[in-house]
Every structure is written in structure tokens, then in C-alpha cells.
Structure 1
Amino acid sequence: MPNSHATSLDDLPDMQAILARSGLAFIEDLIAGRLPAPPIGVTLGFWPVEAARGHVVFEGRPRFDATNPMRGVHGGWYGAILDSCMGCAVMTALERGEIYTTLEYKVNIIRALTLDTPVHAIGTLEHKGRSTAVARGELRGVADGRLYATGSTTCLVMRPEAGS
């Protein structure tokens, strides 16, 4: 888990800092600790550990706070880690001056995760066009490689002005 994390909006990079880097450089800076870990990953127990153009790996483990009333890992945890790895796979293909947001995503849970099971969420870019990008994801056990869930996403690619 990263040491430094954002505790307020002021700790997060501003739009100018985001647009000044390529998407891959941004993710590399997160992994290296040059940028604070995003609050969602700190809260839910996952973080990026590997990045290349079109490919990102997150590591995580569901904790008690992600438990549903039936004592299992809530489906939202699967969705959050897969949305993050797939979106970041898209981000690695963005040029300076581009950002993205998730338009839609789908998750298929294949088997139940038990609490504290270490997993890798692997995001892979399928297509990046001028205004949209598509990626897929897999959630696999670190120890045995078992497939726990798959996902797919479509993201909107945007080019905001640096001053906005």
C-alpha cells in the first residue's frame, strides 16, 4: 500500500498538473509515490503496482469494510477495483492534454472472494479512438491465478483547456 495519500481535495493534483503529463507518466508517478494515492484506493484497499501503455495492474485485498450483510465481499468492491484498473489502462494511452471518464462498465463475478484474499486486477486497453476508448479487466488471485471476475468499460476521452 502506498505511504502517501490524499486527505483533502487540496492534496490531489489540479487539472494543470494532470494535463501536463501523458496518462502513462501520470500512472507511473502514482506508482512511484510522486503523486499521492487516490482516496478511493486507500479507502477500499487497492493500488496500482504496474503500468505500461495499454496495460495496468492493481493489487488489493478486500477488507472487512467491504463486507455485505451476508458476510461476503460486496459486489461494489469488485466493480471499484475493475473500474480503476480498466480506466487506468485507458489513461496509459492518453497524450498530454487528454483526460478520460468512465461512460459505462460491466462486471461479471465468477466466484466469491474471501476477505483478505490478495488479488491482481489487470486492465487491458482494447481500443482508443479520438473520443472513446474500450478496455477489459480481469480479477485474479495473486497466489493461484484463479479468475474471480471480469469486466469491460467504455470511456469518454476529453481535451479540456488547461485553464479550466
Structure 2
Amino acid sequence: MTQTQPRSRTFTWSDPSINAASLGRRSGLELLTSMIAGELPPPPVMHLIDMSRMTAEEGRVVVEMEVQEFHYNPLGSVHGGVLSTLLDTAAGCSVHSTLPAGVGYTSLDLNVKFLRPATVRSGVLRCEGNVLQRGRRTALAEAKVLDSAGRLIAHATSTCLLFDLEPPAV
């Protein structure tokens, strides 16, 4: 039976300037664990694609997302941009988890390999990011997306640029 009624989705998010005000004042791991504990709101992108859970320790971050139809591309599988967002989040946040207060990062590149499609039958996707090497100005991280059966869906490597943050305005 084909569902013919329109589907809709509504979501809300918190003001991103709340987290921005903490940049430079906390280490990356402190910022991430504050978001996980609910002391700071998650970034809007987590609500946009419905990432449901995050764990963090130094050099390692895991994010999860249950596949929904609104993640689909025209072929009926999760859009590569959604998978790339998961991979970029896990890889970038794993780098962030190693940074002291006053140091920021940005992704320089994200090299993604898509290995199999993900659909609602894939269940919860688990994306794990790990730092492979961190220097003074760049860091290399990898991330992988696994479906609920433990099959590898996608893999990525990311290079991040590290930089000093501007001191917060008083």
C-alpha cells in the first residue's frame, strides 16, 4: 500500500549565539560535554537532520541518527549530503575534543567514500570520529558510518585547520 497523504516535519532550535559565547572560554571537550549534558543547546544542524545522540571523549566522538524518509534522495536512500554531515560532525568534533580553550578549528577538506545505501531499514546510523594525528596547525581525523547491523555505510577522512580564537568581547 502506498501512502499518498503529504508528509510534514517541524523542528525548533536554540539561538546559536549561546554556544558561540562559550567559544574560547572552554576546552573543546568541555564544550561538547556541556552540550551532551544539556547545559548548552546542541547546534541547529543536529535538529535539522535529527541527530539523536552524541558521546565524546578526548579524540573520539560518536553521533547517532535514526534514518527517516526526510533524509532521502530521489532514489529512496539517504542523501549523500546527510551522510557527509554526519561524517563531518564526528570527524570535526573529534578534533574539537582535543583542543584547549582559545583554539578553534574548521574543516579544510572532507574526503568521503559511500559504500552502500542507507534506508529506513538501516535503523539507527552510528557515526564514529577519531583523531588520527594532531599538530600545531592541522589535524587529521577519520569517521565511519555503520548501520544497526554493523555494516559500513560510508567512510571519510578530514583535515582540519587549527587557529587561535579571538578573545571574547567583554
Structure 1 and Structure 2 fold alike (TM over 0.5): yes
Q: How does 1:1-164 map to 2 (within 5 A)?
A: 6-10=13-17, 12-15=18-21, 17-115=22-120, 117-142=123-148, 144-163=149-168
Is the CA contact (8 Å cut-off) linking 2:115 and 2:152 kept in structure 1? yes
Shift of 1:150: 0.5
Cα RMSD for the two superposed structures:
1.6
Q: Where has structure 1 moved over 6 Å in runs of 4 or more?
A: none
User: Which protein shows a greater Rg?
Assistant: 2
CA distance in 1, matches of 2:16, 2:132: 32
- Residue-by-residue CA offset, 1:42-96 (whole Å, 9 max, x unaligned): 1101144211110000011232222111222111011000000000000011011
CA distance in 1, matches of 2:147, 2:75: 22
Is the CA contact (8 Å cut-off) linking 1:44 and 1:63 kept in structure 2? no
Identity of aligned residues (%): 31
Q: Structure 1 residues 24, 78: CA separation in 2 closer, same or farther (over 3 Å shift)? A: same
Is the CA contact (8 Å cut-off) linking 2:16 and 2:44 kept in structure 1? no
Normalising by structure 2, what TM-score?
A: 0.86
SS in 1 for 2:23: helix
CA distance in 2, matches of 1:134, 1:62: 28
Gaps of 5+ in 2: 1-11
Normalising by structure 1, what TM-score?
A: 0.89
CA distance in 2, matches of 1:6, 1:159: 28
Is the CA contact (8 Å cut-off) linking 2:73 and 2:79 kept in structure 1? yes
CA distance in 2, matches of 1:160, 1:88: 16
Matched positions, count: 157
CA distance in 2, matches of 1:43, 1:159: 29
Is the CA contact (8 Å cut-off) linking 1:110 and 1:149 kept in structure 2? yes
Q: Structure 1 residues 58, 37: CA separation in 2 closer, same or farther (over 3 Å shift)? A: same
